[in-house]
């Protein structure tokens, strides 16, 4: 199994991962639109509307994936596209994709994506799809995929366990454990998979250090407090697709006997999700009213949902009634062109409060200046849709991955201090799960076990005749090196290493100026390390590395140098413990 993170190794948003099996099956996980452009400004696809599809790929706006786009007629269409959740930074480029592609996502996630296409400029309706369900596995080509429903600010969000070629890859998606669906995280810690090979782990919140995130219940209490103390209308800035937050706001309204005024967009979302759970507030529930705005009404009419206008009309509220009851209203709004027009029709707004319940990064200086001019007070009441460090640590501990790889983060370097064995990638790199896990196994398990048990004083010097070996193939490369070892260290290096049991994967011996490193199972010579004598020790000046792919698949000079160094430093040079049983075995030899 191999994969490419096309976007997400060093940024939050725009996630896209392509996964390959050995026999050619290909799937893609998410096709998100970036949150920001290269200049750090909010990403706007309209800036690139003059570019063709291939030009968008060339400029790296779109990831370079064969058989993915509607204009690509040369390559086989990918076998499937997994959408982890209905946030634009995970699906926003759907409009460019080949219509033959089959989507795999939650039923409600599909509804929310379609609704977004009705009301916004983010186009892309999903027709060819399979509705996935929590922990119900399905197959795409060579891949077995098990979705896990997770707690996130997006409704109907999933993580994925992907299995192929005897390996396991886990894609965390975006998740948390402190939302109204926090029980999903606690359940995952009990029944989720473990001992996976590679974990792609989101790290949105790593930049802020260790944090304690408020629960949605505490968010609700803070909203209640403001509603109890208000002396004017309260505006509630939140995403209409953050169902947890809407529930918090509605419950706060019930506790304070306030009217929760929502718009047509929100009413339509809640109504479409009605079948899935009886706990989602609806437009006709107590203390909820619907404000009609022309742009929303036009969107519903154009999309063939005109009947919804008649349905919601039963709970419609007009501006005169809002003015009459404004001291008792929590009105859902967003930072867009509608809000200034709303303010024009509300009398005496000086001193009114805005509860800003969205990521603070969206709160612009321009909007703060606008509010100050209008005499509006901004109260920030929000909790993240993402996992803080403690939650990430518990998640990783449950998964028990051989390797953890950062994704959806601005802080990949922080992973190494938090999550053990970490590989930091760059966008577009091909990562071979089989080779990397095998490499870790070679370095970690077998030789560590031997060196933890055998004392240098009883190690017998390995020699060529101890093992069946093959010569270095003609396909090889020579790298320069410059590393010094003391005479005392050289004495230990010269002992080499002879495998004891089948699982031990290296045979190493020294002959004159060369140290030979073989794979014990095959006898293939992987590394030849050359030493030159110096005062008080010896220095490595060059390393010959096997490049015959029939014997050794890895083709990365940098990682090979690291491997040789680690083998020598940590598996041969460092002192090891004594073990009486193995001492007897060595003495018998």
pLDDT in tens, 362-402: 888 889 999 999 999 999 999 999 999 999 999 999 999 99
Per-domain residue ranges of the chain: 2-42+51-210+385-428, 216-380, 438-588
Structure-derived torsion over alpha carbons of residues 244, 245, 246, 252, reported in degrees to the nearest 10: 110
Topology of the domain comprising 2-42+51-210+385-428:
Metallo-beta-lactamase; Chain A (3.60.15)
Q: What is the reported pLDDT for 442?
A: 57
Q: Give the predicted TM-score (pTM) of the model.
A: 0.76
Contacting residues for 389 by C-beta, under 8 A, at least 6 apart: 205, 206, 209, 210, 211, 418
Cα 524 from Cα 468, distance rounded (Å): 9
Cα 388 from Cα 177, distance rounded (Å): 9
Residue 29, CA distances (Å) to 65, 155, 411 in order: 12, 18, 21
> Which residues in the chain land under pLDDT 50?
444-455, 457, 574-589
pLDDT, one tens digit per residue, over 455-487 is: 454 567 889 998 989 999 999 999 999 988 888
Which residues share a beta bridge with 149? 158
Cα 519 from Cα 469, distance rounded (Å): 9
Angle ∠(157,108,163) on CA atoms, nearest 5: 45
Cα 23 from Cα 2, distance rounded (Å): 11
Q: What is the reported pLDDT for 155?
A: 95
Q: What is the reported pLDDT for 432?
A: 87
Which residues share a beta bridge with 151? 176
Residue 492, CA distances (Å) to 1, 330, 458 in order: 38, 74, 12
Q: Are strands 403-407 and 377-380 parallel, antiparallel or unpaired?
A: unpaired
Cα 198 from Cα 401, distance rounded (Å): 6
Cα 199 from Cα 29, distance rounded (Å): 14
Q: What is the reported pLDDT for 435?
A: 76
Pick the CATH number of 216-380 from 1.10.10.10, 3.40.140.10, 3.40.50.10710, 2.30.30.90: 3.40.50.10710
Which residues share a beta bridge with 330? 234, 260
Cα 435 from Cα 167, distance rounded (Å): 11
Cα 440 from Cα 334, distance rounded (Å): 49
């Amino acid at each position: 199994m191999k994969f490419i993170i096309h976007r997400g190794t060093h940024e939050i948003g725009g996630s896209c991962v392509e996964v390959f099996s050995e026999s050619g099956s290909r799937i893609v996980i998410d096709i998100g639109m970036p949150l920001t452009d290269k200049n750090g400004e909010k990403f706007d696809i309209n800036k690139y509307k003059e570019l063709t599809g291939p030009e968008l790929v060339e400029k790296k706006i779109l990831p370079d994936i064969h058989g993915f786009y509607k204009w690509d007629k040369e390559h086989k269409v990918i076998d499937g596209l997994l959408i982890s959740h209905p946030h634009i930074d995970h699906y926003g480029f759907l409009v460019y994709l080949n219509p033959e592609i089959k989507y795999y996502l939650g039923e409600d996630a599909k509804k929310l994506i379609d609704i977004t296409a009705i009301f916004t400029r983010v186009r892309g309706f999903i027709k060819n799809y399979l509705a996935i369900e929590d922990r119900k596995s399905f197959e795409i080509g060579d891949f077995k995929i098990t979705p896990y429903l997770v707690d996130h600010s997006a409704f109907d969000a999933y993580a994925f366990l992907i299995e192929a070629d005897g390996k396991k890859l886990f894609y965390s998606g975006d998740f948390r454990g402190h939302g109204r669906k926090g029980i999903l995280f606690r359940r995952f810690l009990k029944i989720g998979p473990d001992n996976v090979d590679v974990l792609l782990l989101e790290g949105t919140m790593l930049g802020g250090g260790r944090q304690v995130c408020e629960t949605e219940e505490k968010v609700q209490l803070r909203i209640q407090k403001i509603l109890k103390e208000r002396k004017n209308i309260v505006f509630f800035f939140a995403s209409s697709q953050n169902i947890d937050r809407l529930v918090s706001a509605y419950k706060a309204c019930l506790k304070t006997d306030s009217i929760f005024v929502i718009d047509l967009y929100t009413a339509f979302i809640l109504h479409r999700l009605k079948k899935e759970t009886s706990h989602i507030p609806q437009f006709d529930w107590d203390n909820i009213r619907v404000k009609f705005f022309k742009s929303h009404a036009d969107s519903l009419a154009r999309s063939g949902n005109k009947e919804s206008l008649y349905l919601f009309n039963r709970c419609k509220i007009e501006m005169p009634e809002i003015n009459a009851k404004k001291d008792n209203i929590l009105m859902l709004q967003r930072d867009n062109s509608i809000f200034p027009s709303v303010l024009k029709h509300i009398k005496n707004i000086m001193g009114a409060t805005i509860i800003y319940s969205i990521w603070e990064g969206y709160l612009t200086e321009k909007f703060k200046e606008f509010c100050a001019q209008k005499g509006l007070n901004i109260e920030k009441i929000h909790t993240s849709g993402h996992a803080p460090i403690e939650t990430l640590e518990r998640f990783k501990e449950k998964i028990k991955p051989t390797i953890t790889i950062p994704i959806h983060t601005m802080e990949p370097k922080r992973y190494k201090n938090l999550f053990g064995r970490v590989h930091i990638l760059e966008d577009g790199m091909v990562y071979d799960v089989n080779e990397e896990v095998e490499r870790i196994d070679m370095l970690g398990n077998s030789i560590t076990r031997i060196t933890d048990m055998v004392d240098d004083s009883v190690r017998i010097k390995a020699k060529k005749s101890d093992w069946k070996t093959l010569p270095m193939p003609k396909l090889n490369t020579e790298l320069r090196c410059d590393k010094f070892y003391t005479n005392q260290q050289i004495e230990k290096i010269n002992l080499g290493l002879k495998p004891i049991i089948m699982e031990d994967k290296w045979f190493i011996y020294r002959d004159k100026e060369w140290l030979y490193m073989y794979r014990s199972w095959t006898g293939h010579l992987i590394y030849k390390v050359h030493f030159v004598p110096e005062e008080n020790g010896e220095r490595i000046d060059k390393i010959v590395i096997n490049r015959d792919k029939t014997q050794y698949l890895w083709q990365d000079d940098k990682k090979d140098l690291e491997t040789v160094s680690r083998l020598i430093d940590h598996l041969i040079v460092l002192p090891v413990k004594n073990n009486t049983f193995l001492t007897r075995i060595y003495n018998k030899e």
